[in-house]
């Protein structure tokens, strides 16, 4: 790990490979994990306000951590995150660092409030976060939730899909990072879909209001109930549409609710649930559109037979012992 990697992760510029390397290093130290989430929270708060001004005592507190160790920590690998924190503060332009002096005080680390959750393939996990917020986590999804130690904000990172019923507090904002977007809760029930392999991030609002922000905290769009914003990453474009509540709640209730979706996209959903791979030998079937409801308790082969009868394709299944079965569409 180095300071460039840390800054890329904090500012949302890291690649997937860099993120994997960084979080792998972070798992080895609870102290480094706590300091990272403190810096991440400060970055979000500063960029959301579009200023580097000190808005509260958190910056001072972070610096007190840094200067409370002897100067020798600057050269000890075990204290690398403190060294990076000093670089982080300097880059933010907080200033005044030259006036501080190094003391020999011991660092007191607060108890970090971080929760990590995973929904395995073919399952939906129902979670309650430490603040009382309820979350449904869809198949093959991951959620990391952090409350900063000053109780000034709540921050979550999502990979996959989740449905949130947030316990709203004006003085305790709730932010979700999904891909390169930030979703800011304003008293809200909402759904976010952000699987890395997809070319879009979709935020849908059921109740209340959310703001969708850029990685630097600049507002992009605000949603009202019944609205959905789909960010097309390959086009750098945001598309707004209306969406029915029953479509959003369907996957939580054990259903695939398909509304005019391409067959290729439907197979992507089925792959995450059933753990099979799909390959098209005849590309004309990729864009076939389908509408219907399918229970998730239905077997994969039964779902294939229903789609086959409608779209008039053929398929064959190649069984694999060591990895996922393959379904070939022709």
What is the spatial distance between Cα 110 and Cα 284, in angstroms, rounded to a whole number? 58
Distance CA 68, CA 135 (A): 39
**Percent of the chain scoring above 70 in pLDDT:** 72
pLDDT tens digits for range 46-67: 554 444 334 444 445 554 554 4
CA-CA distances (angstroms) from residue 141 to 31, 108, 187, 281? 26, 34, 24, 29
Sort strands 255-262 and 289-295 into parallel, antiparallel or unpaired.
Answer: antiparallel
Q: Which residue has the tokens 């999502």?
A: 158
Whether the pTM exceeds 0.75: the reply is no
Place of tokens 């306000």: 49
Q: What is the dihedral of CA 293, 299, 301, 303, to 10 degrees?
A: 0
Q: What are the backbone dihedrals phi and psi of residue 65, each rounded to the nearest 5 degrees, phi first?
A: -60, -45
For residue 89, CA distances in Å to 39, 57, 62, 123, 204 come to 9, 13, 9, 42, 35
Q: What does the alpha-carbon distance between residue 103 and residue 296 come to, in Å, rounded to a whole number?
A: 61
As given in the structure block, the two tokens for residue 189 are: 């029930």
Q: Long-range contacts for 286-289 (Cβ within 8 Å, ≥24 apart)?
A: 286/262, 287/262, 287/263, 288/262, 288/263, 288/313, 289/260, 289/261, 289/262, 289/263
Question: 143 burial class (0-12, 13-18, 19+ CB within 10 angstroms)?
Answer: buried
Per-residue DSSP letter, 206: E
Structure confidence by residue, pLDDT tens digits, 235-290: 888 999 998 877 887 898 888 888 888 999 999 999 999 989 999 999 999 999 99
Alpha-carbon 91 to chain mean position: 25
Contacts of 28 (CB under 8 A, 6+ apart): none
Q: pLDDT per residue over 24-46, tens digit each? A: 777 766 666 766 766 666 665 55
| Domains of the chain, earliest start first | 3-99 (no CATH), 113-247 (2.60.120.1440), 254-329 (3.55.50.30)
The residues, any chain, with a CB within 8 Å of residue 175's CB and separated by 6 or more, are 44, 153, 154, 155, 156, 182, 183, 184, 185
pLDDT per position as a tens digit, 209-238: 999 998 777 889 999 999 999 999 888 889
Distance of CA 153 to the CA centre of its chain: 16
Q: Cα(44)–Cα(121) distance, rounded to whole angstroms?
A: 32
Q: CA 215 to CA 210: how far, in whole Å? A: 16
Across the range 10-17, mean pLDDT stands at 73
* Helical (H) or strand (E) element with 125: strand 125-128
Within 13 Å, how many C-alpha atoms sit on residue 3's CB side?
13
pLDDT tens track for 83-139: 555 555 544 444 333 322 222 233 233 345 688 899 998 899 999 998 899 999 999
Contact 138, 174 (CB under 8 A): no
Backbone angles phi, psi at 268, to 5 degrees: -65, -45
């Amino acid at each position: 790990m180095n300071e460039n990697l840390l800054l890329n992760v904090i500012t949302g510029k890291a690649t997937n490979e860099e993120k994997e390397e960084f979080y792998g290093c972070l798992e080895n130290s609870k102290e480094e994990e706590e300091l990272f989430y403190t810096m991440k929270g400060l970055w979000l708060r500063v960029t959301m306000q579009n200023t580097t001004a000190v808005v509260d005592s958190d910056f001072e507190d972070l610096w007190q951590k840094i200067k409370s160790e002897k100067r020798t920590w600057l050269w000890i690998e075990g204290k690398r995150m403190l060294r990076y924190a000093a670089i982080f503060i300097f880059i933010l332009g907080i200033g005044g660092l030259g006036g501080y002096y190094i003391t020999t005080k011991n660092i007191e680390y607060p108890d970090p409030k971080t929760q990590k959750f995973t929904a395995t393939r073919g399952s939906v996990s129902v979670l309650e976060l430490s603040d009382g917020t309820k979350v449904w986590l869809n198949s093959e999804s991951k959620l990391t939730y952090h409350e900063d130690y000053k109780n000034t904000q709540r921050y979550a990172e999502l990979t996959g899909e989740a449905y949130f019923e947030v316990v709203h507090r004006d003085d305790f904002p709730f932010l979700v990072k999904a891909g390169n977007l930030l979703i800011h809760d304003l008293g809200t029930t909402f759904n976010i879909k952000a699987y890395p392999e997809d070319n879009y991030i979709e935020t849908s609002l059921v109740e209340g209001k959310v703001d969708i922000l850029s990685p630097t905290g600049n507002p992009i769009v605000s949603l009202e109930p019944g609205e959905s914003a789909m960010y097309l990453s390959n086009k750098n474009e945001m598309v707004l549409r209306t969406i029915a509540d029953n479509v959003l709640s369907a996957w939580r209730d054990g259903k695939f609710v398909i509304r005019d979706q391409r067959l290729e996209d439907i197979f992507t959903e089925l792959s995450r649930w059933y753990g099979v791979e799909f390959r098209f030998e005849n590309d004309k079937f990729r864009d076939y559109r389908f509408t219907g409801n399918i229970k998730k308790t239905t077997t994969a082969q039964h779902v294939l037979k229903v789609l086959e009868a409608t779209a008039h394709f053929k398929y064959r299944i190649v069984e694999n012992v060591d990895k996922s079965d393959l379904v070939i569409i022709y």
